[in-house]
Chain A
Amino acid sequence: MEHKTCFHCGLDSESNSITFDDKSFCCNGCKTVYEIFSVNNLNCYYDLQEAPGATPKKIEGKYDFLDNSKIVEKLLDFNDNNTQIVTLYIPHIHCSSCIWILENLNKLQTKIDTSIVNFGKKTVRITFNNKAYSLKKLVTLLSSIGYEPHISLEDFETEKKQIDRSLIYKLGVAGFAFGNVMFLSFPEYFQVEGFWLEQYKPIFRWLMFSFSLPVVCYSAQDYFISAYKGLRSKILNIDVPIVLGILVLFLRSTAEIIFNMGTGFFDSLTGLVFFLLVGKFFQKKTYAFLSFERDYKSYFPIGVTNISSEGLEESIQVYDIKKGDRLVIRNEELIPVDCILIKGKARIDYSFVTGESETVSKLSGDKLFAGGKQLDGIIEVDVLKSVEQSYLTQLWSNDVFKTNKENTFTSLTNSISKHFTIAILLIAFIATSFWLFTDSSKALNVFTAVLIIACPCAIALSAPFTFGNLLRIFGKRKFYLKNARVIEQLAKINTVIFDKTGTITANKETKISYEGTTLSNTQELLLKNTLRGSNHPLSRALYKLLNQNDIITLDHYQEHVGQGIEANYQTDNIKVGSAHFVGLKTETASLNTAVHISTNANYKGKFTFFNAYRKGLSALFNKLKRDYDLAILSGDNAGEKENLNKLLPAKTKLLFNQNPEDKLEYIKYHQEEGAKVLMVGDGLNDAGALAQSDVGIAISENVNVFSPACDAILDASKFNQLYNYIKASKSAIKIIKWSFMLSFLYNVIGLYFAVTGQLAPVIAAILMPLSSISIVVFTTIATNYVGRHLE
């Protein structure tokens, strides 16, 4: 039989028999979405892309907080009596079908006027009529068709950001002026003597002057500011010689045309600024759909359900939660504050906070910490602390999150520019004093010529183009960097620290091994069918492992929360669960998670769960161990220690039971000892460590879901390539050094003309673009060569 997949979402639909319109579906949810679309003539959704959809999740009560008008007000971009506009972030947006369906929302709901998708940012901006319609209804509609928006506490906080387009404007101005000035300089390039040129020279020259004015005053603004800031803090950054060059170019050219001495260097001036800005623009590769700045706020809900003293349920903002409030936490909801469990069965997934992979069960009266996710139905809790004072969120009050890594970092370019600037000034003064004695009329000419020709355009372009190109190459290979600085930092590191759960282990997979007496076929059949009924993650994992068996109807089935499950079929009885539950008296001390089995009160054996490590882990560590100190910081217990010792090189340090603050302190300590640390982590519990380290890389199984604030995001499938990426970063530094050499060569040639006092505008106009373009070509070819060696 042909393998069937769901027509809507593409998942396996083999195991059930939901068919509609001759199409098979994996679940009723997907079928419902299909029905909605076909009723509304939106079947085209499935033509653009095969199986583009997502299964709608149950959202009952989840968006009740959108009844709270204060919260809604904060989320809306625009609101007046009739119209409301909202921008929603929808992680599922991934193909052209998504764009199509979301932009045709008004076919589904007439109250919606327009909807515009920004594919890069995965957002949709929806304008709707708020009479008889509301944001809550809109969100519910989107969720019902599988496009559930992500609304978090972060949306509540951020002021609507203005998009900064100033670089594009500056680039536009510079390019416009450069083109026109070039065009106006042409007559004088050819030095045609004669009446015609003599007569019209002034108008050409003054036009060039007026074109270059906005370039100097507006386009080059950032360089002036940066040079000023550098000088004030006594640093000779690369912008100092650039600004010196721009100023001298402009002043000398202006003087030349005022006193009718020559045509000036307006062409070189505008060209210089234009090329520099192109470099800046190129380096600014951003991944609009990724965020490198996330903290707990993007995980936390915006509103929760509060039970007032009169017993009424109402939605309140998370920030309004006070000590002593009674809250309702629904299935799959995050606990936003530290609290005490009052009512209900709690099974909490703390993997966000601690990195512990296993869920914990809690009984009423137990303390629950913020950041845990409830997995087992509805619970009621009493609040102990407000959001900011909760255990998890306090991590963010650490100073590490306030310091900007960029400010404390001296780039390669800037460290070279210090020597460069001093050398240039020396040459300028020596040449000038030489000419003062031989031919004093030329002295000023030589002085300015040296500063003009030495303007380090090519040097300033080396790094942006190398890094910009490598950033793109990395991006194509699913290694997303926050900015170019990260490449430089990555080349410098000497210590690599890994988190365990989710970083070197794969989240989805676990290895299960069985110890004990072999189960007979009937026993295995019974076990399989018993596990079928349970939703416990361990049961699900074990269920998948066992062979396909017939489905039998159990006579009796009971789940004992926190202990295990029990089932009867005909004469057989089976117990699956903790050692104590199945009747094993002496439990062997083991830190690994295990599920024990007994049939008819006879102990059979246990299934032990091991972490499954990512592919190529050993190979990666063996490559890394040659050049780097390695360590693993795990929030988990030491259960995997033996396994890791076998897998990893002997010198790898293994530390277990590390809380988020421990990790941060560990890195801080090693940095004080002089280590440059690369931290590789995945969860919120690594957030402090990622921020403290020199380079923090977040591993992500799916880059569209959230990862904590970091410098780079690495797709989990490329984990084993980490070493190659570091090596490529080192090559990038080498490329930059080579292109520095190349640009020095140009400078030497140019300086020869300058020092001997024969720098004509046309030479400057040729040399400057030539050096810049050849540097761009060189770095591009070299980085592409490096990139080809990456997989």
Chain B
Amino acid sequence: MSVIYVLLAISIVIAVGFFIAFVLAVKRGQYDDSYTPSVRMLFEDELVKENSKKQIITNKD
């Protein structure tokens, strides 16, 4: 079999793979709210930091 068939097959499989990923992302609602996640990712571990601060203070005491 000619190599061109293999290449075409690979390219289409990859393209379809990305397409499916896109459809799944839309379906899970990733495109419904495009603002909040951008803020949320910035304060993921704020609470932990808060606790460690407290610990430092108590250590000093």
Are A176 and B19 in contact, CB atoms less than 8 angstroms apart? Answer: yes
* Given A96-B42, A176-B15, A180-B15: A41 touches B36 (CB 8 Å cut-off): no
* Given A96-B42, A120-B33, A180-B15: A44 touches B47 (CB 8 Å cut-off): yes
Determine if A48 is an interface residue (Cβ-Cβ < 8 Å). yes
Q: Which residues of A contact B35 (CB under 8 A)?
A: 119-120
Are A99 and B23 in contact, CB atoms less than 8 angstroms apart? Answer: no
Q: Which residues of A contact B54 (CB under 8 A)?
A: 41
Return the contact of B40 from the options A44, A103, A107, A176 (Cβ within 8 A): A103
Within 8 A of A (CB), among B1-40: 2, 4-5, 8, 11-12, 15, 18-19, 22-23, 26-27, 29, 31-36, 39-40
Determine if B61 is an interface residue (Cβ-Cβ < 8 Å). no
* Given A99-B39, A165-B26, A176-B15: A44 touches B50 (CB 8 Å cut-off): yes
Determine if B59 is an interface residue (Cβ-Cβ < 8 Å). no
CA distance A107 to B47 in the complex (A): 10
CA distance A96 to B38 in the complex (A): 10
Are A119 and B36 in contact, CB atoms less than 8 angstroms apart? Answer: yes
Complex: chain B residue closest to A93, CB-CB: B36
Determine if A589 is an interface residue (Cβ-Cβ < 8 Å). no
* Given A41-B50, A44-B46, A44-B47: A163 touches B36 (CB 8 Å cut-off): no
CA distance A169 to B22 in the complex (A): 9
Determine if A785 is an interface residue (Cβ-Cβ < 8 Å). no
CA distance A119 to B34 in the complex (A): 9
The number of A-B residue pairs with CB atoms under 8 Å apart is 66
Q: Which residues of A contact B36 (CB under 8 A)?
A: 99, 116-120
**B21 smallest CB distance to A (angstroms):** 10
* Given A119-B36, A163-B29: A180 touches B12 (CB 8 Å cut-off): yes
User: Using an 8 Å CB-CB cutoff, how does the interface string of A26-49 with B read, 1 for contact, 0 for none?
Assistant: 000000000000000101100010
CA distance A163 to B15 in the complex (A): 27
Instruction: Name B's interface SS.
Output: helix
**B2 smallest CB distance to A (angstroms):** 8
* Given A44-B50, A119-B39, A120-B33: A169 touches B23 (CB 8 Å cut-off): yes
User: Using an 8 Å CB-CB cutoff, how does the interface string of A481-513 with B read, 1 for contact, 0 for none?
Assistant: 000000000000000000000000000000000
Determine if B51 is an interface residue (Cβ-Cβ < 8 Å). yes
* Given A121-B33, A168-B31: A203 touches B50 (CB 8 Å cut-off): no
CA distance A169 to B25 in the complex (A): 11
Are B15 and A48 in contact, CB atoms less than 8 angstroms apart? Answer: no
CA distance A172 to B43 in the complex (A): 32
Q: Which residues of A contact B33 (CB under 8 A)?
A: 118-121
Complex: chain B residue closest to A172, CB-CB: B22
CA distance A118 to B36 in the complex (A): 6
Determine if A19 is an interface residue (Cβ-Cβ < 8 Å). no
**A3 smallest CB distance to B (angstroms):** 30
Determine if A437 is an interface residue (Cβ-Cβ < 8 Å). no
Most buried by B among A43, A107, A119, A179: A119
CA distance A180 to B33 in the complex (A): 29
User: Using an 8 Å CB-CB cutoff, how does the interface string of A105-127 with B read, 1 for contact, 0 for none?
Assistant: 00100000000111111000000
Q: Which residues of B contact A203 (CB under 8 A)?
A: 5, 8
**A541 smallest CB distance to B (angstroms):** 39
Are A100 and B43 in contact, CB atoms less than 8 angstroms apart? Answer: yes
Q: Which residues of B contact A116 (CB under 8 A)?
A: 36
**B42 smallest CB distance to A (angstroms):** 7
Q: Which residues of B contact A173 (CB under 8 A)?
A: 19
Determine if A200 is an interface residue (Cβ-Cβ < 8 Å). yes
Q: Which residues of A contact B51 (CB under 8 A)?
A: 41
Q: Which residues of B contact A207 (CB under 8 A)?
A: 8, 12
Are B29 and A172 in contact, CB atoms less than 8 angstroms apart? Answer: no
Determine if A568 is an interface residue (Cβ-Cβ < 8 Å). no
Complex: chain A residue closest to B4, CB-CB: A200
Determine if A659 is an interface residue (Cβ-Cβ < 8 Å). no
- Residues of chain A touching chain B, judged by Cβ–Cβ distance below 8 Å, are 41, 43-44, 48, 96, 99-100, 103-104, 107, 116-121, 163, 165, 168-169, 172-173, 176, 179-180, 183, 200, 203, 207
Further pairs besides A96-B43, A203-B8: 11, Cβ < 8 Å: A41-B54, A44-B43, A119-B33, A119-B36, A169-B23, A169-B26, A172-B23, A173-B19, A176-B15, A176-B18, A207-B8
Sample (23) of A-B pairs whose CB atoms are under 8 Å apart: A41-B51, A41-B54, A43-B50, A44-B46, A44-B47, A48-B43, A99-B39, A100-B43, A100-B46, A103-B40, A104-B47, A117-B40, A118-B32, A118-B33, A119-B33, A165-B27, A165-B31, A172-B22, A176-B19, A176-B22, A180-B12, A183-B11, A200-B4
